[in-house]
A = this chain, B = another copy of it.
Amino acid sequence: MRVELLCTGDELVTGLITDTNSTYLEGRLFDLGVKVERVTVVGDVRPDITGALLEASARADVVIVSGGLGPTADDFTLECAAAAAGVPIEEDATVLGWLKERYAARGMDMNPGALRMARIPKGAEPVRNPQGSAPLVIQKLGRAQLFFLPGVPREYRALVDGEVLPRVRAGLATEPHRTFRAFRLLRTVRLPESVLNQQVMPLAPSHPRVVFGFRTHAPENHLKLMAEAPTQAEADAALAAAEAACRAVLGTHVYGADSSGYAPVLLDLLARAGHTLAVAESCTGGLIAQDLTAVPGASQVFVGGAVVYSEKMKSTWVGVAPEVLAKHSAVSRQTALAMAEGVRTACGATFGLSVTGYAGPGGGTPEDPVGTVYCALAGPDLEPRCERVSLAGDRDRVRLFAAAHVLEMLRLHLLAAPVSP
């Protein structure tokens, strides 16, 4: 199956936004064993869009198009699709009904712009958008099947996962001389990509049916294993053998597989043991709390987070003694330990975590330059511990890796020595 992507929008060709939608879709298609052959990006120019649709349709079996489906005057991708197919564009009663429902549910009037979203090429099939107004539209053009998606990333991803990929998968199942594939993503933290590479690549020659790949998704590094074989059973067996070998080498560095994110894994570990958690953050400024609370049901485990951005709040909220701050400064092992113990006590939580450091660009001392972060963990039957880390990169990167580091201190502790609540 030959798949191409077409992305439209002036913002994509003038440097305003980066096309992350395609990265997402390419990765998901690759998981199905499909390598995208070409991505074309054009601005909001009618002849360019129409021409690109015709060209891609002449080459590909499936063309996935994004952008230009919204309510504004520069949204005319479907008009171009109608022109390319030589059919009129018409108001669709089903889509109009969806739009009316959606606007009514929000207590809003339909304005004339919104009506644009009900107009689709004659003969095309609309599919309801669970996250927004503009529907997914599916159209045949020559021998190609075209999928039109809104460019808003949340809507795009929901429609890719819920509607486009199942249809692509069904199409693959009917292909003759099919190669069967099986895929596993092993997710690691605190392991540089070069080290990950060094540890697993010696295993590759023993697994000839498995392609080893790597991807960096800061602060994590992922190992991609893809097995190919003439039957699904052989592909599954080859993948299972390679995965077991890699897991044996990587050990606890692998925190999860496939789509399981870090925060849900950690919260699940805590919840199953009946533990609760509290955090005190200085330089990460709420990043850890917001990452954990983004997970539905986090309130079962997460009790509270103190973003103590001033010395006063370090004392008021998490009980760091003013003498500790005066003697050792706010960025020190002693302050980090006092923050972790203090937030644990204040919240009555099983575990307390803390982070204090210099995220930059300002701040730092000769002994503790920008990028120095103290991470601490306090808990039951546990001598409070602090780790000092030196992180390279800008403010965002230091914050991101500091948050990952302190959370990983807790996960490794839970794996090594399960503690009863």
Interface residues of A (CB under 8 A from B): 9-20, 22-30, 35-45, 48, 52, 70-74, 105-106, 108, 111-114, 131, 152, 154, 183, 185, 192-195, 197-198, 201, 204, 212-218, 224, 226, 281, 283-294, 296-299, 302-310, 312-313, 316-317, 346-348, 360-362, 390, 392-397, 399
Contact = CB atoms under 8 A, between A and B. Distances in A.
Nearest to A18: B23
A126 to B, nearest CB: 19
A303 B313 contact: yes
4 closest cross-chain pairs (CB), A and B: A15-B27, A285-B293, A286-B289, A286-B286
A361 B297 CA distance: 9
Max count, chain B CB within 10 A of own CB: residue among A70, A194, A303: A194
Contact of A48 (B38, B131, B303, B305): B38
A404 B98 CA distance: 28
Contacts of A18: 18-20, 22-23
Given A17-B217, A40-B41, 4 more contacts: A39-B40, A72-B201, A286-B286, A306-B317
Nearest to A301: B309
6 contacts: A13-B37, A131-B393, A285-B302, A286-B288, A290-B290, A313-B347
Contacts of A72: 193-194, 197, 201, 213-214
Contact of A201 (B27, B73, B312): B73
B307 A286 contact: yes
B296 A304 contact: no
Max count, chain B CB within 10 A of own CB: residue among A14, A29, A302, A395: A14
A168 to B, nearest CB: 14
Contact of A307 (B294, B304, B346, B394): B304
A215 B16 contact: yes
B395 A294 contact: yes
Max count, chain B CB within 10 A of own CB: residue among A204, A218, A306, A396: A306
A103 to B, nearest CB: 10
A36 B14 contact: yes
Given A16-B215, A290-B286, A193 B310 contact: no
Given A48-B38, A304-B309, A306-B307, A11 B194 contact: no
Contacts of A10: 35, 213, 224, 226
Given A40-B39, A40-B40, A41-B38, A11 B306 contact: no
A24 B17 CA distance: 10
A13 B41 contact: no
A218 B152 contact: yes
Contacts of A13: 26, 35-39
Contacts of A215: 9, 11, 15-17
Given A30-B14, A218-B154, A346-B317, A71 B194 contact: yes
A392 B13 CA distance: 29
A15 B25 contact: yes
Contacts of A306: 304-307, 317
Max count, chain B CB within 10 A of own CB: residue among A16, A22, A40, A217: A16
Contacts of A214: 70, 72, 74
Contacts of A113: 194, 197-198
Contacts of A9: 215
A227 to B, nearest CB: 14
Contacts of A213: 10-11, 16, 44, 72, 74
A29 B111 CA distance: 37
A406 to B, nearest CB: 14
Nearest to A103: B194
B317 A293 contact: no
A284 B36 CA distance: 37
